Structure 1
Amino acid sequence: MIGSLLGLAAPVLAKTTKIIVLGDSLTAGLGLPADQAFPVVLQKALREKGFDVEIVNGGVSGDTSAGLLARLDWTLGDGADAAIVEIGANDMLRGFEPAGTKKNIDEILVQLRERKIPFLIAGMRAAPNLGGTYAAQFEPIYQQLAAKYGAPLYPFFLEGVAGVAPNQLPDGLHPSKAGVEHIVAGILPLTETWLKKLAP
């Protein structure tokens, strides 16, 4: 009976769906207790919706797109059923050439596809102080790659968090507990739709 009721909210899968979040400090949960990090909060929200998921925190504080690419094999380990890719903020903050960032993320997505791991992409925006020219080169990266691979895109991971004091830690960069909850609420509908399409 319980299984039937859950089936109304989400597909009944044959096994727990393992999702790995590949990212940086924004997903790793820098400055927060472990149970307040994005992967944990998202897992809780999805389970409340009836999804049998395990979400692994593959975020490393300070990581760049090149760093994630270099550690990808080790991070994936025994593999995963799906991945959320959130990377590039540190490239942007350090003023790295957007073309290089795009190339690295593209290679990450290529390797995920080769492993038959479907992915959802979380985008990033450029800080205003970097200027319009940089933003025009950096910000389209995510939309272009999502279109290339037919992947779902959450356009801006920090939507409703960046520049909103209660949703940020005092450093003005990372999400607070309230900020993480805001991010999860925003990305949840897209994630649900994505997971339902992945179900057999």
Structure 2
Amino acid sequence: MKWKWLALVATPLALIGCKKETAPAAQDVVLTVPTTGQSAAPQADEIVILALGDSLFAGYGLDPGQSYPAHLETALKAKGIKARIVNAGVSGDTTAGGLQRADFVLNDLPRSPALVIISLGGNDLLRGLSPFETRKNLDALLAKFAAAKVTVLLLGMLAPPNLGQDYAAQFNTIYPALAKKHGARLVPFFLQPLVERPELIQADHIHPTLAGIDVLVGSTLEAVAGALPKPR
């Protein structure tokens, strides 16, 4: 029961999913470098990583500098990996929104990223959007990065049981199938470490606390490091 904790709060999730959140237009998206106290421009010896996602990357409900990309950058540097993560997380964003702003985000980077980490699809679930549309959007997004010869690490999602078996059967195959099709790296279920651990979830029953962020970083650190190009 990987979504047991989420199933217990199906009602508030459904209410949130019904809200007509509108992601900002591509030209209004502000890219942030999450490490506190450093200049926005990456150093010449730093690897650029793009974090393209929704509120799970934006750090919803947390203070500035406490987002997943910010703590992931710190953890990578602790491993001796000189990385600068550009946080393109937008709260409320869907896979359609991520696809729409992908070109703008890429063009606005100081240089081509060595890795793109994608966490999109949670808001598609919250709104009960068609798995066909989610698959189509992610397929186009991964094809875009493949054409740009950029490695992708896809952070997968699973459908909660309250959406029904048919919906889950269609949705849950999306991430592994597309990762295989486009040669992307995959974390099957990004939120798996938080399952049945309510102390790591904020009062909205959706977003991780600061402690939950650190658990997510710890569970994905090796996958991120392994997806980075090997130094020459």
- Percent identity for Structure 1 against Structure 2: 43
Distance (whole Å) between structure 2 residues aligned to residue 52 and residue 61 of structure 1: 27
For the pair 1:15 / 2:45, whether they are aligned, the reply is: yes
Q: Secondary structure at the match of 2:86?
A: strand
Give the equivalent residue in structure 2 for 1:36: 66
Gap runs ≥5 in structure 1: 1-13
Confirm whether residue 68 of structure 1 aligns to residue 101 of structure 2.
Answer: no
Residues 199 and 149 of structure 1: is their aligned pair in 2 closer, same or farther, counting only changes over 3 Å?
farther
Please tell me whether the aligned partners of residues 93 and 127 of structure 1 are also in contact (alpha carbons under 8 angstroms): no
Residue aligning to 2:194: 161
Aligned residue for 2:157? Answer: 124
Q: 1:50 aligns to what?
A: 80
Report 1 or 2 for greater relative contact order, CA contacts < 8 Å, sequence distance ≥ 6: 2
Structure 2 equivalent of residue 27 of structure 1: 57
The CA distance in 2 between the partners of 1:19 and 1:68, in whole Å, is 16
What CA RMSD, in Å, does the superposition of the two structures yield over aligned residues? 1.3
| 1:110 and 2:110 matched | no
TM-score (norm 1): 0.89
Shift of 1:162: 4.0
Which residue number in structure 2 is paired with residue 172 of structure 1? 205
**Normalised TM-score (structure 2):** 0.77
Distance 2:147 2:231 in 1: 19
Measured in 1, the distance between the counterparts of 2:193 and 2:114 equals: 29
Q: Distance in 1 between matches of 2:230 and 2:192?
A: 25
Corresponding residue of 1:83: 116
| Residues 10-65 of structure 1, C-alpha deviations (whole Å, 9 max, x = no match) | xxxx8211001010001111010121100000000000000010011111000000
- 8 Å contact kept, 1:22–1:85: yes
Give the whole-Å Cα distance in 1 for the aligned partners of 2:231 and 2:120: 26
Q: Secondary structure at the match of 2:164?
A: helix
What are structure 2's unaligned runs of at least 5 residues?
1-43
- The one-letter amino acid of 1:143's match is P
Matched to 1:95, the amino acid is: G
Deviations 1:105-158 (A, max 9, x none): 111111111222111110001122111111111011000011112221011111
**Residue equivalent to 1:142:** 175
Structure 2 residue matching 1:66: 3-state secondary structure: helix
Residues in 1 aligned to 2:195 and 2:105: alpha-carbon distance in whole angstroms: 28
d(CA) in 1 for partners of 2:163 and 2:100?
A: 26
